[in-house]
A and B are shown apart, each in its own frame.
Chain A
Amino acid sequence: MEEQLKIDFEKLLEKSNFSKKNIEIKRKNFNNFIEKGFPNKREENWKFSDLNQIISKNIKNLSFYNDLSKPNKIDQSTFIDGLEHNKLVFVNGRIEKIEFDYEEKNNIEILDDLVLEIPNNVNNSLLFLNNAFVSKFFKLIIKKNYSLKKPLVIYNITNKDLVSKSINLKFDILLEENSSLKLIEFSNDKSTTNFININYNFDVKKNSILKNYKIDNNPNSNIKYYFNNINQDTNSVSEIFLLSSGSEFIKNEINCDLNGKYASAFVNGVFLLNGSKHHEIKTNINHLVENTKSYQLIKSVLEDESKAVYQGKIFVDSKAQKTDGYQLSKAILLNDNTEFNAKPELEIYADDVKCSHGSSSGSLNEDSIFYLMSRGLNYKEAKKLLINGFLLDVVEKITDSEIKNLIKNIMSLKQ
């Protein structure tokens, strides 16, 4: 693979016109990646999901250069129906559409020729890979006191032309003071066996609100890694909801630094897996100052031989008195071959805090099924009602009612 990486990297530099500075940064990132390679289970963070093995098992002849010179057709039927929204559309990793029809243009800015970075998190080789191979680094700025009137949907569409490629995307999103954004990331994949590596960096300033809904629902054989870094200032709110269901493998990593008093972070997620799917969420919520709050709720329903992993960490700095941290994960295992791994971690250096965690997993309650069947529902209907009830609890946490309804529709939870 190293040979391929080198060839593809040189090809990328040759075919693109990156600035001198960026080429220099890219080379450093590239060398760092070559040195470390894909993460494997010897690393604590990856012990439940050996990415190196997963990639070599699922992807034949992975290549890293992706020709972005020609536009791709957008399949309009992919767009979310019945929800007015702004769009950023990526097809096979190439930006095809930027549309903010509902917004005041002077309150939004999009940059795409930024200087890249060398991540200081040296343990995460995938960030090096991302910075080395990303072709455009986007930054979206929501100006002070502006709230987007409609949600922004980032479409990550791949079509059947894309096979065994590594796609790298990188976004910075800055919410200036008193601003707000509802962001839906919507994946639709018709491609096969690609490795998709997406890096988000959210900077949420004072009194701002970020709502981020990540929807991965259509079945596909891609392997995906998302790194979400969130930095929160005073009195800001972040709300993340994941519907993790469609792709063969996903690891969603969320690092959230609560840097301002009264900042709060909510991470809620649903894993709905079947076949050999394997999804993970790894969170690091860092309470760094006084009076911050975090809440995490993850529910999984696993069928066949699927596997879900939740590694949830709450870190409380010695300065962070009056922290309120909570996490809970629950899983329903529909047969014996499924696997659910939970690793809750609390690392607390302050003494006046409220932190709790819990985790449970088990099969569907047969007595409940009997109860429902005795009221005329057949086994399948009873099972579906119980599972939907189990999941609804998480979906109800979504604070935007329009998007909550959309997600209920997608999950067929509408009662």
Chain B
Amino acid sequence: MLKIKNLKADIDSKSILNNFNLEIKPGEVHAIMGPNGSGKSTLSNILSGKKGYNVSGEVLFENKNLFELETEERAHKGIFLAFQYPLEIPGVNTNIFLKTSLNAIRKANGEKELDAIEFLKLVKLKAKNLKFDEEKLNRQLNVGFSGGEKKKNEILQMSILNPKLSILDETDSGLDIDALKTVADGVNSLRKKDNSFLIITHYQRLLDYIKPDYVHVLMNGKIIKSGGPELALELENKGYENFN
């Protein structure tokens, strides 16, 4: 599904990713762990098409060169980024935003757009599963939401858009145990044989709830070690500094 070969990324001539390689197959869950400044967020930004990076190498998503696609085209193809810091958008109703987003993606894929009633049915169901306060759906997008609510809102969007590849950028940061479990349940309910996940995190904690197939350790812009879930535990015990 996703093939990254020799990815190199600079920002303001500062090298962030270097010789980065990763392959994710359909249905797999990969976790990337790394210390602050290792390039984790840069990776998620580049995959979703944020401007401002100087990139080289190759990133293929379902055999298409990702660098040729605009951010919204990547979303249409099924890439979703759950933001580390979801933005507050004043004046934009959450429900309206979700509907606009879903219909933009459906339209781009030649599917019928949902009308208001069909959409509300869907969103109510998904919100209920995530224990997301329905009343918040009528509020301005993320405005006045707590940190946990913002993160839940990201997972809600993910479950509505049903992407092929979901990238979770430190979704666990700022969540209490209950919220973490709800978020993890949301992710787990989306695990299917065609849906893949890239989970970016500092801590092993989230991986207790979302069992990854592979764990990669990212340091100084490249993966220094890959392994199974046990690698996360090893990291947790040793710390990043002693890992090398």
A residues with CB within 8 A of B: 365-368, 370-379, 381, 385-386, 388-393, 415
Contact = CB atoms under 8 A, between A and B. Distances in A.
Q: Chain A interface mostly helix, strand, loop or mixed?
A: helix
Nearest to B82: A374
A371 B87 contact: yes
Contacts of B96: 415
Contacts of B74: 374
Contact of B157 (A375, A385, A389, A415): A375
B226 interface: no
B50 A376 contact: no
Contacts of A393: 90-91
Given A374-B71, A375-B75, A378-B72, A391 B91 contact: yes
B71 A370 contact: yes
Contacts of B11: none
Contacts of A376: 72, 75-76, 101-102, 104-105, 108, 161
B92 A386 contact: yes
Given A371-B86, A386-B89, 12 more contacts: A366-B51, A373-B71, A374-B71, A376-B72, A376-B75, A377-B72, A381-B100, A381-B104, A385-B92, A389-B92, A392-B91, A415-B96
Contact of B97 (A374, A385, A390, A391): A385
B67 interface: no
B214 interface: no
Contact of B91 (A366, A374, A377, A390): A390
- Which of A365, A372, A377 counts the most chain B CB atoms within 10 A? A372
A384 B124 CA distance: 26
A315 to B, nearest CB: 31
Q: Closest 10 CB pairs between A and B?
A: A389-B91, A375-B101, A376-B104, A373-B71, A376-B75, A389-B92, A376-B105, A392-B91, A371-B87, A415-B96
- Which of B50, B70, B71, B97 counts the most chain A CB atoms within 10 A? B71
- Which of B102, B104, B108 counts the most chain A CB atoms within 10 A? B104
B140 interface: yes
A385 B87 CA distance: 14
A377 B100 contact: yes
Contacts of B50: 370
Q: How large is the interface on B (under 10, 10 to 19, 20 to 34, 35 or more residues)?
A: 20 to 34
B49 interface: yes
A164 to B, nearest CB: 41
Nearest to B88: A368
B29 to A, nearest CB: 21
Contacts of B49: 373-374
Given A389-B90, A393-B90, A377 B140 contact: no
B53 interface: no
A73 B145 CA distance: 55
Contacts of A373: 49, 70-72, 75
A375 B101 CA distance: 6
B75 A374 contact: yes
A145 B140 CA distance: 40
Nearest to B71: A373
A371 B157 CA distance: 12
A387 to B, nearest CB: 9
A374 B93 contact: no
Interface string B133-176: 00000001000000000000000010001000000000000000
B199 interface: no
A336 B132 CA distance: 41
